[in-house]
Structure formats: structure tokens, C-alpha cells
């Protein structure tokens, strides 16, 4: 499903002294199967933007088009359930949405609401708990006796079980341990690749954006500040600094290295270990000369 | 939902109403609530209406915002008016629609009672619109301080109140967040039969209660960790103090009341 934002603005609590325009004049298009990262300082409107994609918020101005759905301020009454089945959102701190007696019931909750048949649901529950790397014996436990990280995984499994076409991730790894972060990000990437799932990731971790995204959208003060592939975006160091964003360490390292040792290393999504090998290689070659 | 109800909502500002000591505001407004019931003719009602209007203007809060904010109360006011219109049978008949007769007394009583109601709601909502919850609880604690002598736990009650007030916006925010998360998982809070909608509330209430209990526990621990042990020997960060503006306000209020009592019959 292609997603298009046409001059979208959104104001919270309009016509009151508390009115606040969180995003303004957003134009975006996201094609089916893309992996997009949205970055921006806290309060720049990322979460607000995301909530337009499944109709939780309707634009106060402009329109959002998702597949055949058109959302704008003047079409309030339409059944959004079909849309929400196709667009799964993992919210910031999704563990707060758990409520069922058992993990299994909680993961089934979404598919059940969308009318998926029972035997299909149990298949999905099993496959999604596997994806988030929890053992199947967790299924019988109460979600409230789990640790924070485990609860997060259960909540993510609950969204994956909906098998959405578009997966929206609002800081899915905030507060997880480093290894857990890497595992979960890898899992999302595999899903994206194997199922051609359109993935939209909001993150404060620039190295995640660099590593996984096809395209990065930078928001600042509710507007699109920059847009482009990771190499382009992260080469504009000064512009990024202006909106309080950092360049991933690995890029700074490569840049400094090339400058200092006359290197020609290019960033190609390599891991730290691979980069180390390239550096060793570089010194070897230079010695020979 | 949020944008509709302003009752109990605080709009920060720097108007002279905002600057008044909360005790002054509370005492005058509660006495006003009683005084409204003494009005008995056009002049005295007019005078009170004028006074309320002046207060609204002083608060610098936009009038449409206030009028829209008390929408739920409007229904009650109109309902009261219509009820009195049809029930009261005094004075000459003004209008006759088949079997219904509308009497002059009905119109007058309907008008006065709704006006009374409107004035009460307007002025009391001005109190909460211009006074932060913190100030209100501070004022309550001060005003009821004499009750400490008869072992009423005034400080603890005020603290409970300020904590509850403090967490209302948090709870609303949390409600919104969770209901969005569940809506994304296919819960429909808006359509369906009454039974469906009641079931739809469970996935909202359970997480809400759990997080509220967690929060309460954490707050209690944090307070203890910082050495809180009740009112004993506790000093205040914000001392309430009457200033010149309060004395002027009280004086004006007394004058307004003297005029009021000469206007009424
Ligand atoms: N329900 C709401 N009512 C009023 N204002 C809101 C509401 N939700 C968000 N805002 C405001 O809108 C702005 C954008 O919020 P948003 O949550 O989209 O930011 P964000 O980019 O996701 O930030 P973060 O990185 O902290 O999650 C913020 O300034 C916030 O205060
Ligand atoms: Mg956010």
C-alpha cells in the first residue's frame, strides 16, 4: 500500500487556549515495500505523524492517502477497521497496552478483533512469539508477571500477529538492553525483507536509521526538514546539528580515518567487525607500498 | 472529549484574577454562590449578571471558549427553563397551544432559575479556570487549618486532594494513549451495540488501573525515600500572602454587595 501525505497539518485541541499545531504542511510519499526511518528531536511531531497513517488522528488540513483510503478532516464516519488491520502500530512503550489474563490471549486480541478464524490465530500466535524470541511456555503466563523487556516483546508479538502490510514502529527499542535492541531490530528487518512489509521506524538511534532504512525523513518543529537516503542525510553534518541530531559514530569514525590515514573506506552497512577488517586491510596494503 | 469540558480546567495567565490570592477567590466565590439566591428582581439579577460579566472580562479568558466549555451545563439550563415554563401556573396566560398553556409566572420563574444556574456555573468555573489546582489545595488547607485543633487531618486531606488533581491530566493522557493502542488492534469504541461497547472498555480499564496502582506505589516510595512523614514540623515552599490587590478586591466585593442589597426588594 502506498502512503501519501498531501499538505497535512494537525492541531491538537483546536479553538482552545491550548491549541497546538504539532505538524504543519507535510508532503510525503512512501511506496509499498520501503523501509523508512523518521528521526527528529523530541516533540518534533513524529508520533503525531504516525497516528495519521491508520486514522487514529484525522488531519485538520490536507489529506492522507493509504492504499484506497483517503483520510481528511471532513470524512469522519468511515469504517477504519479494515485499514487498521493492514497498518500495525507498535507504540512507544507498548507494554502499557497489555491487559489479558495470559500472554496467549493478549497476542490473539488483535487478530480476534479483525475476525481471523481460530485455528489461523493459534498459528499466528505461535509464529509471532517465536519471532520475538520468547519460549512457548510464556504463552500460559500472565503478562503482568513478566519483566519490562519481556512485556515489550509480548506487545510487539501482539502487533505482528495481525500480519499487517505496513508496520509502524515508534521507538520500539527504547529501554531495552543492547543485545535485545539488536535482536529486535534484526527481526524487524528480516520481516521487512521476507514479506516486503512497508516499515516505518521512528527512532532516536541514528545508527539504526543508518543501518536499516532505505530513506530517512528528518522532522523539525512539525515540518519535514530533510529527506533522502542515509548517506545523503548523514553527510549534511551541519544541518543535522542545527536540529540537534547526531551523525552515527561509525560514519564519523570512517570519515576521520579516511582523512587521517588517506583511506578510501566507504560505508556499506558493514558491522564494526567488518570495518575493523577493512582497516587492517588498509594498513597492510599501505605497508606493502 | 478534552476540548469540550472546561469545568475544572486551569488556563494559566497573568490577569488580575489569576493574581488574586486563592483564599480571596474561594471565600468571595462561595459567598457569591449564597448571595445569588437572594436576588429577587430584575435589577438585582442584572447587577449580579453584570458583576459576573466583569469577572469574565477581568480573567482575560475568551468568552466563546467559556460558553462552549460549559456545553453540558447548557442542556441542563435549557431543560430547567422548559420544565418551569410548563409546570408553573401563575399569573395571566401568555400563550395557548392546544391543551398547553404558558403562564407569565412560568416564563419569569424559568428565566430566573436558569439565570441563577448560569451565574453559578460561570463564576465557579472562573475559580478553577484562573486558579491552579495547587493553589486551590493550598487555600483549602489554610482555610480549614483551624479544624486541626479537633484532630481533623487537614494536611493529609489536602495532600490527597492535590495528588489526585495532579494525576487527572496524566490519567487522561494515559487513557488516550491506551485507547489509541487498542483501537489500532481493532477495538471499536464508537460503534456496535451497548454490550459490545461495554466489552470494549475492558482493554482500556485494565491497563489504566494497573498503571495507576503502579504509579501510586512508586510515588509513595519516592516520597518516603525523600523523608516525607506527614505534616509534623513541615514548612511550606509557597506561603500564601494577601497583597494589596486582595484588599482592593475584597473592598470592591463588599461595595458590590451593599449595592446589591439596596437593589433587591
Ligand atoms: N494529546 C495532545 N494534546 C496536546 N498536545 C499534544 C498531544 N500530543 C502531543 N502533543 C504535542 O505535540 C507535539 C508533538 O508531539 P509528538 O508526540 O508527535 O512528538 P514526538 O516527535 O513523537 O516526540 P518524542 O520523540 O518525544 O516521542 C509536542 O510538542 C506535544 O507536546
Ligand atoms: Mg513520540
Q: In chain A, what are the domains?
A: 33-47+80-244 (3.40.50.300), 248-289 (no CATH)
Residues A110/B203, Cβ–Cβ less than 8 Å: no
pLDDT for A288: 61
Query: pLDDT tens digits, residue range B166-206?
Result: 888 888 889 999 999 999 999 887 777 788 788 888 999 99
Q: Which residues lie closer than 8 Å to B87 by C-beta, 6 or more apart?
A: B106
pLDDT for B2: 45
**Where residue B256 falls among pLDDT bands split at 50, 70, 90?**
very high
pLDDT for B8: 63
* Burial class of residue B124, CB neighbours in 10 A (0-12, 13-18, 19+): middle
Of B174, B177, B185, the CB nearest to A110: B185
Neighbour tally for A141: CB within 10 Å: 16
Asked whether A13 lines ligand 1 (CB < 6 A), one says yes
Distance separating alpha carbons of residues A31 and A171, to the nearest angstrom: 21
Query: pLDDT tens digits, residue range B115-125?
Result: 999 999 999 98
Asked whether A46 lines ligand 1 (CB < 6 A), one says yes
**Where residue B4 falls among pLDDT bands split at 50, 70, 90?**
very low
DSSP-derived secondary structure for A34-51: -EEEEEESTTSSHHHHHT
User: Which residues are in the CB-under-5-Å shell of ion ligand 2?
Assistant: A 47
Phi, psi of B15 (to 5 degrees): -70, 170
pLDDT for A80: 85
As a whole number, mean pLDDT of residues B121-135 equals 89
- pLDDT of residue A284 exceeding 80, the answer is yes
Q: Which ligand is nearest to the CA of B169?
A: 1
Domain count, chain B: 1
- pLDDT of residue A76 exceeding 70, the answer is no
Q: Which of A162, A159, A161, A163 is nearest to A172 (CA)?
A: A159
Q: State the residue range of the domain holding B147.
A: 2-263
- pLDDT of residue B55 exceeding 90, the answer is yes
More confident position, A175 or B30? B30
Asked if A247 has any chain B CB less than 8 Å from its own CB, the reply is no
Interface test with A, best of B181, B187, B213 (most A CBs within 10 A): B181
pLDDT for A98: 92
Question: Which ranges of B88-231 does DSSP label H, i.e. alpha helix?
Answer: 104-130, 133-143, 154-184, 194-225
Closest approach of chain A CAs to the CA of B163, in angstroms? 22
Residue window 130-189, chain B: list those with CB within 8 Å of chain A: 174, 177-178, 180-188
Cα(B215) to centroid(ligand 1), Å? 22
pTM of the model: 0.81
For residue A259, the number of C-alpha atoms closer than 13 Å in the C-beta half-sphere is 6
Query: pLDDT tens digits, residue range B20-53?
Result: 999 999 999 999 999 999 998 889 999 999 999 9
**Where residue B7 falls among pLDDT bands split at 50, 70, 90?**
low
Predicted complex ipTM: 0.87
Amino acid at each position: 500500500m502506498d502512503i501519501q501525505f498531501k499538505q497535512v497539518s494537525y492541531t491538537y485541541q483546536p479553538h482552545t487556549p491550548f491549541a497546538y499545531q504539532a505538524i504543519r504542511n507535510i508532503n510525503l510519499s512512501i511506496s509499498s515495500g520501503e523501509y523508512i526511518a523518521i528521526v527528529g528531536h523530541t516533540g518534533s511531531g513524529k508520533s503525531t505523524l504516525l497516528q495519521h497513517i491508520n486514522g487514529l488522528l484525522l488531519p485538520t488540513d490536507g489529506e492522507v492517502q493509504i492504499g484506497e483510503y483517503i483520510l481528511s478532516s471532513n470524512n469522519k464516519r468511515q469504517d477504519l477497521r479494515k485499514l487498521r488491520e493492514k497498518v500495525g502500530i507498535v507504540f512507544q512503550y507498548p507494554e502499557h497496552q497489555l491487559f489479558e489474563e495470559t500472554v496467549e490471549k493478549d497476542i490473539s486480541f488483535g487478530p480476534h478483533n479483525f475476525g481471523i478464524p481460530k485455528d489461523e490465530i493459534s498459528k499466528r500466535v505461535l509464529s509471532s512469539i517465536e519471532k520475538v524470541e520468547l519460549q512457548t511456555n510464556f504463552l500460559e503466563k500472565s503478562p503482568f508477571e513478566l519483566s519490562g523487556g519481556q512485556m515489550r516483546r509480548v506487545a510487539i508479538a501482539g502487533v505482528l500477529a495481525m500480519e499487517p502490510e505496513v508496520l509502524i514502529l515508534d521507538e520500539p527499542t527504547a529501554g531495552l538492553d543492547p543485545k535485545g535492541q539488536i535482536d529486535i531490530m534484526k527481526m524487524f528487518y528480516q520481516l521487512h525483507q521476507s514479506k516486503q512489509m512497508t516499515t516505518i521506524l521512528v527512532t532516536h538511534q541514528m545508527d539504526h536509521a543508518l543501518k536499516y532504512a532505505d530513506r530517512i525523513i528528518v522532522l523539525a518543529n512539525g515540518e519535514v526538514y530533510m529527506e533522502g537516503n542515509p548517506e545523503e542525510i548523514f553527510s549534511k553534518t551541519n544541518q543535522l546539528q542545527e536540529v540537534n541530531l547526531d551523525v552515527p559514530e561509525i560514519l564519523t569514525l570512517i570519515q576521520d580515518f579516511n582523512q587521517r590515514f588517506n583511506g578510501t573506506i566507504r560505508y556499506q552497512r558493514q558491522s564494526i567487525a567488518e570495518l575493523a577488517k577493512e582497516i587492517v586491510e588498509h594498513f597492510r596494503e599501505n605497508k606493502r607500498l | 472529549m478534552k476540548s469540550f469540558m472546561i469545568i475544572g480546567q486551569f488556563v494559566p495567565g497573568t490577569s488580575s484574577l489569576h493574581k488574586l490570592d486563592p483564599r480571596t477567590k474561594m471565600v468571595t466565590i462561595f459567598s457569591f454562590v449564597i448571595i445569588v439566591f437572594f436576588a429577587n428582581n430584575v435589577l438585582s439579577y442584572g447587577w449580579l449578571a453584570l458583576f459576573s460579566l466583569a469577572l469574565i472580562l477581568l480573567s482575560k479568558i475568551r468568552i466563546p471558549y467559556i460558553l462552549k466549555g460549559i456545553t453540558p451545563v447548557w442542556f441542563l439550563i435549557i431543560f430547567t427553563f422548559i420544565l418551569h415554563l410548563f409546570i408553573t401556573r401563575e399569573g395571566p396566560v401568555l400563550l395557548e397551544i392546544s391543551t398547553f398553556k404558558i403562564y407569565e409566572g412560568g416564563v419569569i420563574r424559568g428565566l430566573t432559575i436558569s439565570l441563577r444556574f448560569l451565574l453559578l456555573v460561570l463564576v465557579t468555573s472562573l475559580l478553577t479556570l484562573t486558579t491552579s489546582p495547587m493553589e486551590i489545595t493550598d487555600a483549602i488547607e489554610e482555610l480549614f487549618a483551624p479544624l486541626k485543633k479537633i484532630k481533623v487531618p487537614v494536611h493529609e486531606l489536602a495532600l490527597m486532594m492535590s495528588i489526585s488533581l495532579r494525576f487527572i491530566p496524566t490519567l487522561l493522557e494515559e487513557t488516550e494513549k491506551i485507547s489509541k493502542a487498542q483501537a489500532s488492534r481493532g477495538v471499536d469504541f464508537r460503534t456496535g451495540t451497548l454490550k459490545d461497547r461495554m466489552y470494549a472498555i475492558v482493554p482500556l480499564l485494565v491497563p489504566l488501573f494497573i498503571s495507576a496502582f503502579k504509579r501510586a506505589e512508586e510515588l509513595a516510595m519516592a516520597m518516603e525515600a525523600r523523608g516525607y512523614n506527614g505534616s509534623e514540623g513541615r514548612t511550606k515552599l509557597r506561603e500564601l500572602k494577601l497583597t494589596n490587590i486582595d484588599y482592593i478586591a475584597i473592598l470592591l466585593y463588599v461595595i458590590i454587595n451593599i449595592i446589591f442589597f439596596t437593589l433587591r426588594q
